[in-house]
Amino acid sequence: MPSQRRVSMTGALSQAKRNGFRPATIIDVGAGRGDFTRLSASIFPEADILMIEPLSEFNWALSQVAATLTQARPVHAAASSSPGSCLLNVHPDLFGSSLLTEGEASDVNGVPREVPAITLDSAVEKNNLSGPYLLKIDVQGAELDVLSGSAQVLRQTAFVILETSMFNFFKQGPLAHEIITWMAEYGFVPYDIFGLAHRPLDGALAQADIVFVPEDSPLRRHHYYATLEQRAALTKRLRT
């Protein structure tokens, strides 16, 4: 059985690094307070980092991150399929804020706010960044909208982390299988999974973070389960 640490963001990034993955640029979409930026910088200290976050409430936190991590740059905008502006539903908890609305009959959707919008393609070009990219997107149901503005970036992307949902929590938001299908059309396949979240309503699996890599990624160069020595050890353990 894998350890709890392995089935985590840290575990997924560390496993990829052990197997040769080295991003030139990390793009943190939905950066919030910069927690993922700090974590990924500790594992890939040589990578440039772009932190994209539309909520002004997090500006100070991201400025602090940029002050301590000189390779990290904040962009105060929402990543979207087209540039301009968009309406962001600012939730009471801030972290649940989304371009989409939820189906719950409550005040969970908060207050709509107009924010600047950019595409990942334009953000990368403006900041003169290059691949291979590590792309993390946590935007509460609007993942495919972000990806739709990332055609050029995806061509040089080697590792994508997407939050996926098992239920229609957000109106018009994609389910996990729809994201998997969309990514497959662009040549990406699931590689890892972690961050399982179960809803309090009934204990059902609600969300999971799925890692995607190109189908021909070096991380997928082996298609067997174990070495002969590892297989022998597994067999011995099962027999005892």
User: Mean pLDDT by 10-residue block, N- to C-terminus, for the chain (240 residues)?
Assistant: 75 97 97 95 98 89 96 93 78 56 60 84 96 93 90 98 92 90 98 96 97 98 94 91
Q: 189: helix, coil or strand?
A: strand
Q: How far is CA 195 from CA 8, 25, 36, in A?
A: 6, 23, 13
Contact criterion met (CB below 8 Å) for 13 and 161: no
Per-residue DSSP letter, 175: P
pLDDT of residue 240: 82
Domains and CATH numbers, the chain: 9-239 (3.40.50.150)
Cα(217)–Cα(117) distance, rounded to whole angstroms?
31
pLDDT of residue 56: 83
Helix (H) or strand (E) holding 9: helix 9-18
* Of residues 115, 48, 37, the one with CA closest to residue 79: 115
pLDDT of residue 93: 60
- Say how many C-beta atoms besides its own lie within 10 A of residue 215's C-beta: 11
Locus of tokens 């709509």: 112
Helix (H) or strand (E) holding 67: helix 59-68
What one-letter code names the amino acid at 221?
R
Tokens of 147: 């990806």
Tokens of 124: 């990368």
pLDDT of residue 106: 56
pLDDT of residue 171: 75
* Of residues 51, 89, 79, 101, the one with CA closest to residue 145: 79
CA dihedral 6, 10, 12, 18 (to 10 degrees): -90
Q: 11: helix, coil or strand?
A: helix
- Say how many C-beta atoms besides its own lie within 10 A of residue 125's C-beta: 12
Cα(161)–Cα(136) distance, rounded to whole angstroms?
5
Cα(212)–Cα(173) distance, rounded to whole angstroms?
19
